[in-house]
Amino acid sequence: MSAIRFDNVWKEYGDHIVLERITLDVAPRAFVALVGPSGCGKTTFLRMLLGEETPTRGRILIDGRPMPSEPDADRGVVFQRYSVFPHLTVLDNVLFGRELQQSRLLGRLFGRARREATEQALALLDEVGLKGHEHKYPASLSGGMQQRLALAQAIMRGPKILLLDEPFGALDPGIRADIHVLMKRLWNETELTVVMVTHDLSEAFSLATRVIAFERNRNRPEERERYGATISRDLEIFPRRIAQPRTDHPIRSGRDDPAAQGA
């Protein structure tokens, strides 16, 4: 079954058609890169997938079921900037999502549940290369470190789908190359299906299993409002890139542990 299905989805703002006739099946554990010219609706697509926007026509299915109308823990997101909370330490940023998820009323975990969540957060911070920075605040981290933290924060909630909106776009090339290695590893080690918007074609082709381009077929000024962008290219990367699962990933074990879930 598809992890994500777009079934003839349209998105219009008033008279302005942004996206039209988007039909798409994404396999579980795929890594999809979305590319296309500025303003063609990539972020709008991602926001629909997150549940921040609803299609004006058509429907979106997640694991074969209609998508919940609001963002939930099954979908994590990392933006180019400002994904982390500046007033929380690195460790608390990673714990925050889990605390809200498991303890909706108080937004805090106590006792064993907190100890276990802290252990997982520390393991995850180690994995993303932030060991030793747990008690710092985001402002004292570099841009690359902040994006590593944003990835850890999103993954800590154990999402099935990770949405990335140009997450590495503001980073210097060397830092970006390092974080690409990390991103590949996280994708390999978890069960994530990833959808990433990027302007960088080489990034798309080096990370993704599939590259999808959005484009407007009709782009004359008088046509801009009346015709939306559609999928103009849909390329599977060859040779096929397949995620290699790791069974002892700290987050996956967190999801599977009923004590941690229900505490």
Q: Which residues bind ligand ATP (CB under 6 A)?
A: 13, 18, 36, 38-44
* Structural contact between residues 127 and 251, judged by C-beta atoms closer than 8 angstroms: no
Q: CB of residue 40 vs ligand ATP: minimum separation in angstroms?
A: 4
Specify the residue, 80 or 89, whose C-beta has the smaller distance to ligand ATP.
80
Nearer to ligand ATP among residue 52 and residue 172 (C-beta): 52
Beta carbon of residue 84, minimum distance to ligand ATP (angstroms, whole number): 21
Concatenating the DSSP letter of every residue in 143-169 gives HHHHHHHHHHHHHHT--SEEEEESTTT
Place of tokens 């990370």: 207
Task: Name the residue nearer to ligand ATP (CB basis): 171 or 186.
Answer: 171
How far is Cα 108 from Cα 100, in angstroms, rounded to an integer? 7
Judge if the upstream peptide bond of residue 239 is cis by omega within 30 degrees of 0: yes
* DSSP letter (8 states) at residue 248: T
Minimum CB–partner distance for residue 95 and ligand ATP (Å): 31
We find the least distance from the C-beta atom of residue 233 to ligand ATP, in angstroms, to be: 15
Q: Is the dihedral of CA 164, 50, 41, 231 positive or negative?
A: positive
Tell me the closest approach of the beta carbon of residue 42 to ligand ATP, in angstroms.
4
Nearer to ligand ATP, 45 or 96 (CB): 45
What is the β-pairing status of strands 193-197 and 4-13?
Answer: unpaired
Between 115 and 199, name the residue whose CB sits nearer to ligand ATP.
199
